[in-house]
Amino acid sequence: MGAVEQRLAELGIVLGEVPPAAANYVPAKQVGSLVYTSGNDCRIDGVLMMTGKVGSDLSVEEGYAAARQVAINLLTVLKAHLGELDRIKQVVKMLAFVNSADGFVEQPYVINGASDLLVDVLGEKGRHARSAISANELPFDTPVEIELIVEVE
C-alpha cells in the first residue's frame, strides 16, 4: 500500500470501482505526463448521493459534501488509470461546476469540499489552480461536476 492509499485509509475513505461512462468518452486520458479526467459527479455505488440546485434545494454545506465525494470519485478514476496514486506528482488544475439556483454566488465555498479533500489526501501535491463556475443545469441533476488535470511521474 502506497503513502496516498495509507492516508485514504487513515481518513476512512475507501475507493470503489470506476462507474461505466454515461456516454461516448473515457474516464481519463493521458498526454505525456498530464492526465485529464472527464467530469465526475457525486455518485456512491452508482447512485447520486444527492440531487438539485445549491442555493435552493441544497445548502452550501450539502454542496460541499457533494464536491468532497466528487473528489473521492476522481481519485478512484486516477487510481484505475495509474495503478498507484503515489504516481501523482501534483494536481495542476480543477474545473468545477455547481448546479446553482438563480442568484447563488457561493460556488467557491461549495468546491472547497473537493479542494480540501485533495489537500487532505495529497498534501502540497494536492494544491491546484481552480475555476468554480455556476451552471443552471448539470447532467442527471447532480449538484456538482468536476474534472482534473494531474501531472504524474
Confidence (pTM): 0.97
Q: 90: closest CA among 11, 146, 34, 41?
A: 34
Alpha-carbon distance of 11 to 110, in angstroms, equals 20
The pLDDT of residue 57 is 98
Instruction: Summarize pLDDT for 1-30 with one digit per residue, the tens.
Output: 799 999 999 999 999 899 888 899 999 999
Look at residue 58 and tell me whether its pLDDT is greater than 90.
yes
The pLDDT of residue 48 is 97
Alpha-carbon distance of 134 to 104, in angstroms, equals 8
Query: Beta partners for 151?
Result: 34, 90
DSSP letter, residue 138: -
Instruction: Summarize pLDDT for 83-114 with one digit per residue, the tens.
Output: 999 999 999 999 999 999 999 999 999 999 99
C-alpha cell recorded at residue 83: 495503478
The pLDDT of residue 21 is 86
Instruction: Summarize pLDDT for 137-148 with one digit per residue, the tens.
Output: 999 999 999 999
